[in-house]
Structure 1
Amino acid sequence: MTFTITSESLVRDIVNELPKSSDIFKKNRIDFCCGGNIPLSQAAAQNNLDLDPILDELKVVFEKYENEEKDVEVWTGSDSETIINHVITNYHRVSEEELTLLSPYVTKVSRVHGEHHPELIKMNELFYEFKRELLEHMEKEEAIVFPLIKQLADGTVPNREEAIQMIAELEKEHDHAGEILRQIRAVTSDFELPLDACGTYRLVYARLEALENLTFMHVHLENNILFPRYLD
């Protein structure tokens, strides 16, 4: 795909096509929700902003999105340490950032629209449960289990059975995270938007679905490529 965002692109269309662009607009106090039906150039002018730096930021976000790992099967021939470093950089750090940035949007949509769309109250609860558990899970991986896997790989692990048990526990945690995501998808009817959905509402659903995909790729790389080397 080619970067096609220009000064004449509507703000709302940019967010619809590139949900992560909302972070740039929020930082620059550009209204992408109620006031998003205007060209980017006009939105920048209204806020006394230079257009070119904003376009540059949008291009960076676009390129980062385009370069996300699409086929993790290429990692089957990589050593464990390389895979672990890839997971930490491309999944842990990215997930941490997205969970932090997405949280206020989820809270806002639940608070503003929850009265007429009670499913958003449940979505909010599930999201924060998922956030808490995934952050704890990733911290445990980095602090405890990944170092053990490196020791398993080079034969220096002090207690092989204990290390293997901890890897098995991570798989169970993956299953639970997947179940929470399944519930989020179910309660939102597969992220189906109601007719009265505002820009922020649309943004939340788009980014929740992207977070789901990111998590599934993260889990696939560990469960299907990294962990089987030591569990079989």
Structure 2
Amino acid sequence: MKNINRDLSLGECVVIYPPIANKFNKMQLDYYCGGDKNLRDALNEKGIDIDKFIEDVNVELEEFEFDNIMYINWKKKSSGELINHIVNTHHVKTLELLREIDPLLLKVFRVHYNHSPQSLKRIYRLFQSLKCRLEEHIIKEEVVLFPKMLEFNDNLVDDENKLSQRDNINNKEGKAKLREEMKDLMFEHKIKDELKVFKEEHKVRSEMKDRKHEHDTIKYILKELAEITGNYTAPKWACDSLKLLYVKMQELEKELFIYMHEESNILFKRY
């Protein structure tokens, strides 16, 4: 496995060594939507010793590779496998957390309104906006984007199989006949095939562009929530419900970081 170095982007670092995401989260480094920034520049901005950081991380990486035989490198998996993972892991977990947080936030909003009305109103409105956008985002991925991606992949495989079948004809007579049949139509088919691929690719990229814009909006809302809650630090007057609310909201934030990272830095870069 490749080692971490200063010229890698933040997104590439997380692909190589997923636990580094926890370090980036603590340093408030954006490795999903802003994952193209290289490690050197990101650490310089935070005033962190680059050589020491890289040395420590690569030691951890060696131990991680040795201990984690169950680790899955999604960059090496097919798009179909990665999409299946996103739907059955990240979509499920995100919706589950949204269902848990929603009534809990409403309870805290009602009970503690007089403690900090402006802050609680802001948190409540931001979360409702986040919830609405995430539910819509997930539905559009499952109903529109992911099926288009899989269809595009299937069509490419079909084209490759047709070429393979043509090349596997061994007898001269068969090959001559096939060449004759294809001669007049070859150019026409080529144009149609290229146009078909272009249209399919354009549809996928158009949908993908919309999902990326949604990532940016989600990222902005998460940043606002983190700031207004002091990175989910419960105030002294907080009850158990508020403490639990902040734990669940921070869990949602971490889940979304990994979810959007796998889309932005792995899946979307294939199309």
Provide TM-score, normalisation by structure 1: 0.66
State the distance in 1 between where 2:98 and 2:200 align. 34
Tell me the percent identity.
32
Which residue in the other structure is 1:59 paired with? none
* CA RMSD after TM alignment: 1.7
Give 1:193 deviation, angstroms.
Answer: 1.4
Q: Which secondary structure does the structure 1 equivalent of 2:73 belong to?
A: helix
Work out which structure has the larger RCO, using CA pairs closer than 8 Å and 6 or more positions apart in sequence. 2
State the distance in 1 between where 2:71 and 2:99 align. 25
Q: Deviations over 1:119-168 (max 9, x none)?
A: 11210111111001100000000000001111222336653212211111
State the distance in 2 between where 1:114 and 1:192 align. 18
Which residue in the other structure is 2:239 paired with? 198
Which residue in the other structure is 2:103 paired with? 104
Which deviates further from its counterpart, 89-98 or 211-220? 89-98
Q: What one-letter code is carried by the residue in structure 2 that aligns with 1:176?
A: T
Match of 1:214 among 255, 263, 268: 255
State the distance in 1 between where 2:209 and 2:233 align. 35
Report 1:152-191 matches (<5 A).
152-155=152-155, 159-191=200-232
Greater percentage in helix:
2
Question: Which of structures 1 and 2 has the bigger CA Rg?
Answer: 2
Q: Deviations over 1:101-131 (max 9, x none)?
A: 2211011111111221121121011111100
State the distance in 2 between where 1:114 and 1:185 align. 19
Which residue in the other structure is 1:17 paired with? none
Q: Which runs of 5+ in 2 are unaligned?
A: 1-69, 157-196
Whether the aligned pair in 2 keeps the contact of 1:149 and 1:163 (CA below 8 Å) is: yes
Aligned CA distance change for structure 1 residues 72 and 207 (closer, same or farther; 3 Å)? farther
Q: Which secondary structure does the structure 2 equivalent of 1:227 belong to?
A: helix
Q: What one-letter code is carried by the residue in structure 2 that aligns with 1:117?
A: S
Whether the aligned pair in 2 keeps the contact of 1:120 and 1:188 (CA below 8 Å) is: no
State the distance in 2 between where 1:212 and 1:72 align. 22
Give 1:73 deviation, angstroms.
Answer: 7.1
Aligned CA distance change for structure 1 residues 73 and 168 (closer, same or farther; 3 Å)? farther
State the distance in 2 between where 1:72 and 1:95 align. 21
Provide TM-score, normalisation by structure 2: 0.56
